[in-house]
A and B are shown apart, each in its own frame.
Chain A
Amino acid sequence: MSRLLLNLRVIVALGRRSVRQTFRRPQLFAPILVFPTLLLAIQTGGAGSAVDLEGFPQVNGFLDFMLAGAMVQSCLLAGNSGGIALAVDLEMGFTDRLFAAPISRFAIVAGRLAGTAAFGAVTAVWFLAIGLIFGATIEGGVPGTILMIALVALSATAFGGIGAAVALYTGRASVVQGLFPLVFVVLFLSDAFFPANLMLEPAATIAEYNPLSLIVDGLRELVIGGVDAAAVAEAIGAIALIGAISIGLSALALRRRLRLGA
């Protein structure tokens, strides 16, 4: 069997384990799907009148506007949960056993990220289903829907790299769990929940430059406007930037861990 094929098998097996693990542990599963869904429902009902504000983009309803934010929130939390699970594996010695196996070390981390990506795709489908059930219109149609699922899965991989880097660097689940509040800081400082032009300063200015806003805008455009090549390209650019940094940091942290034997 070729080396590439072997690594692919490892990635698929570890990815499958990661998804199963997330579904089996409510502590990992609830923050990814349950809390963003509750928040989506409550914010849509609570701040829905905002569509009447001057400067609010043209939308069929506030739910249409919020869907992209909910998906990105889930992705960020999926990345964090993936990092926690990886750190637990490190604490329990499971990863050490994998390191001792005749497989690529990168495949071990890639397997975890593949699981996070799969979970990202699941969250995209979940929120699209919720949106459609409760009356949202996906202006991008079928191509837009497929693009959304792909973008959300890629975003989850990119954010998962951050969780993996912290897990590999520290080896402690409690530290990765400590990133949880930061997820919300990053979200609130983007236009995930509200148009940046209507946010208060300094959050409004920060949101303009936050790469997360580009991802949200790309996804949102597919819901409220249709397939816009420029918006999608900007979203892909932002995902690539975050992904390159996070996966680069993961690789460095993995190398450090292997060198120190920690």
Chain B
Amino acid sequence: MTGRVETAGRRFGARTDLATIRALVRRARNEIIRVPGAAIPGVLAPTIFFLGLTAVFGGLTQLPGFTAEEYQSFIIPISLLQGAGFTGAATGVNLARDIEQGWFDRLLVSPAPRPVLLAGLVLSASLRSLIPATFLLIVGFAVGVSWPGIGGLLLAYFFVMGMGTLAACWGSAIALRFKTQGAAPLMQAGMFVLILTTTAYAPIALLQGWLADIARINPVTQIVEAIRQGFTTGTVTWAETWPGLVALVGLLLALGGLALWRMERTAE
């Protein structure tokens, strides 16, 4: 009898948790619908960087050892990840705003478990990151980015959502630590450094000195290469994909754990 009650309680709890997550995701969606202008910088910035970097550094493909024929196909994974990074960081800024305005305190006194609150935040970021990615891909294909195949496209979307989640975990951890929108540059700079200290501009063999060393050990390099394979070769292989998956899971565990830890400590 007791066991049945416990099982029913868990089921009820899971249902409530899901409803809470859905409500938080819906709130984030409403923000986009009601203030569409707020989403523009997150869409515009990576697109400008994509077009600008292609125009400026496009000549790098002439270097011996460069592994792509068109620079736009080489650089698009970086812009996709930047878009997701900006979106995730924006989640951190929004959380800091909610903390400043006292709205988050009301969430904290609700019976919703802290991990569920965090899940609502990062899931909304993960879904929102699809907006800049889709816009970028449309622009990219218009300016000659190679078709990555359906598999390559789905893989790109999957990693974009993963990066959006990572960035939201980072942004949330920073927001919960500093509790002010003034920490926004730290949220953005963290993702900026993580994404750009990879094979962002050139293949690893052409990177200079310290950047080559960091790119070798930066797990995001594996994510970049996993996305890039479809755009530069037109095919997706398991050998090129699994290191990216491992890197993503590892980073999610690390940054998700950090965000959760900050969330648990937030009322102390």
Contact = CB atoms under 8 A, between A and B. Distances in A.
A and B from one assembly? yes
Interface of A: 25-27, 29-31, 34-35, 38-39, 41-50, 52-54, 62, 178, 180-181, 184-185, 187-189, 193-194, 198-200, 203-204
B59 interface: yes
Contacts of A43: 201
B189 A35 contact: yes
B52 A184 contact: yes
Nearest to B59: A198
Contacts of A62: 208
Given A27-B182, A35-B192, A200-B56, 12 more contacts: A25-B182, A42-B201, A45-B208, A45-B211, A46-B201, A46-B208, A46-B211, A50-B60, A193-B57, A198-B59, A199-B59, A200-B55
A50 B208 CA distance: 11
3 closest A-B pairs by beta carbon, nearest first, are: A45-B211, A188-B52, A46-B201
28 contacts: A26-B183, A27-B184, A31-B185, A39-B196, A42-B201, A44-B211, A45-B211, A48-B207, A48-B209, A49-B60, A49-B63, A49-B208, A50-B63, A52-B63, A53-B62, A53-B63, A62-B208, A180-B45, A184-B48, A188-B48, A188-B55, A193-B56, A193-B57, A194-B57, A194-B59, A199-B55, A199-B56, A203-B55
B185 A27 contact: yes
Nearest to B192: A38
A47 B57 contact: yes
B10 to A, nearest CB: 44
Nearest to A185: B48
Nearest to A195: B59
B56 A44 contact: no
B51 interface: yes
Contacts of B57: 47, 50, 193-194
A34 B208 CA distance: 21
Q: Secondary structure at chain B's binding surface: helix, strand, loop or mixed?
A: helix
Contacts of B202: 46-47, 49
Interface in B42-98: 44-45, 48-49, 51-60, 62-63, 71
B55 A45 contact: no
A185 B208 contact: no
B44 to A, nearest CB: 5
B252 interface: no
B208 A188 contact: no
A178 B181 CA distance: 18
Interface of B: 41, 44-45, 48-49, 51-60, 62-63, 71, 181-186, 189, 192-193, 196-197, 200-202, 206-212
Q: Secondary structure at chain A's binding surface: helix, strand, loop or mixed?
A: helix
A201 B212 CA distance: 29
B56 A194 contact: yes
A188 B51 contact: yes
Contacts of B181: 27
B165 to A, nearest CB: 23
A123 to B, nearest CB: 16
A197 B201 CA distance: 19
B182 A42 contact: no
- Interface-central residue, A47, A53, A199, by most chain B CB under 10 Å: A47
A45 B189 contact: no
A44 B41 CA distance: 26
B59 A200 contact: yes
A1 B143 CA distance: 63
Given A26-B183, A180-B41, A42 B63 contact: no
Contacts of A185: 48, 52
Nearest to A183: B48
Contact of A42 (B45, B58, B59, B196): B196
Contacts of B71: 200
Given A27-B185, A43-B201, A199 B209 contact: no
A94 B194 CA distance: 39
B59 A45 contact: no
A189 B189 CA distance: 24
A128 to B, nearest CB: 21
